[in-house]
Structure 1
Amino acid sequence: MSVITEMTVDSGEFLLGTVLSRDPEADIELERAIPATDQVMPYIWVTGRELPDFESRVRTSPHVRRLAAVDVVNNQGLYRIEWADDGESLVHGLSETGATILNARGAGTWEFLLQFDDYGGLARFHNYCRRRGIGISLDRVYSPEGIERADEDGLRTEL
């Protein structure tokens, strides 16, 4: 049975968060896409008044090989990030443990909505983070099946 978790992570705990927090004025959301390369999450949506400033700040990171604007309309842009190194351990942990990122957004603190095939996948991810010293907060963990059953019975139960 699959399991969903709502998790928060300080931007300083993972490379993507650290690089993207260089512009505190930008609102950033990871694009849900299935990559055809080895990179796990190469696309991000950025909303902010000064996208050229965001681009400049991110491009100065030694961890970023290339930041490419795919689409930019008004104050929102879709960007592809190519990493200069393979240092993103949180993202690799998500990939290695079979997590699906349903939603992720943040600035100083990131909120992730993740789905695992089972509780074992969540446990492997949690252990992965502990071994690497990545501080995560599991704010809510539940089974989508349990939520659906409660809804069918007319009950609203917060798990």
Structure 2
Amino acid sequence: MSTSFWILCHDLKGGGVIRKSGSIIKSIRQHTDAWINVHKLIPRDEERITEISNTRQRMDYYEKAISLREAEDVASLQEKLGRTLSKAEISRIGVSKLRLFLKELLRKRYMDSVPLIIPLLEKEYNNTTRKLNEINRELSTLDEVKLKEKGRAFHDLF
């Protein structure tokens, strides 16, 4: 039985996981005898996977399984279509492409939502500014003598 942990880390923050000359990774390897792999950055992606596992075989198994499944998917599609797929078409097939697709879809939906969010934020900003101005006006009209009288009256109640 093997155990595997995957750490998804922004590429710019990867140095914090690895440290200079890989000191953190070397330390983990020494103390745990774990296999650690910092995967290559996927083109057009900003996140990198660091895998910590008690066996190298697990990662090899999944990589091979994904590659085989994607090859089967391509062959099946070519058979159903009765033609060979272009490199551009093949580059969009498979589980390994799903993450990039979902990330792009999320980014697109976010960008589509921004025009709806901005008016709400402006309304909230205007309400907050109005309330702040009311409080400032109230504070500027406070009379020190009246405040002292109210404070004494409040104190006398106890």
The TM-score normalised by the length of structure 1 is 0.25
Q: Which protein has the larger Cα radius of gyration, Structure 1 or Structure 2?
A: 2
TM-score, normalising length: structure 2? 0.25
Higher relative contact order (CA 8 A, sep 6+): 1
